[in-house]
Amino acid sequence: MKESGGAGNLVYSGNGAGNRPRCPATLDRGVEVWTVSLDVDRSALAEFAASLAPEERERARRFRFDRDRDRFMAGRGLLRAILGRHLGVSPAELT
C-alpha cells in the first residue's frame, strides 16, 4: 500500500489488513516497515524542516555539506510525519 505525504514519497508495507492501524494497536498486530527516499523536493524539505525541534535544527546547521544537511532534515521530518500519523498529532508537536 502506498501513501502520499508532504513529499509524496512514503511507501508503507504493513500487516495486510487493508487499513493501517493506529498505535498502540500496531504493536499487537506486527511490525511495520517503511522505506523512504531522503532526496525530496525543496517544498517538502521546507515542510520537514519546519517540523523539527530546535535541537534538530541546530544539529542540521552543523552539517558541512548541503546534501548531508538536507538528507538529515528529510529523514527526521519523515520520521516525525510517520510518528505523527500514528499518534494523531502534527509532526511539530512531537517531543
**Three-state SS for 59?**
helix
Contact 10, 37 (CB under 8 A): no
CA–CA dist 93, 89 (Å, integer): 6
pLDDT tens sequence across 3-41: 444 444 444 444 444 444 344 555 566 777 888 899 999
Based on the number of CB atoms within 10 Å of its own CB, is 28 exposed (0-12), middle (13-18) or buried (19 or more)? exposed
Q: Report residue 26 as a C-alpha cell.
A: 500496531
Beta bridge partners of 36: 10
Rounded to an integer, what is the distance from CA 19 to the centroid of its chain? 19
List pLDDT tens digits, range 52-85: 999 999 999 999 999 999 999 999 999 999 899 8
Q: What's the pTM value of the predicted model, to 2 decimals?
A: 0.69
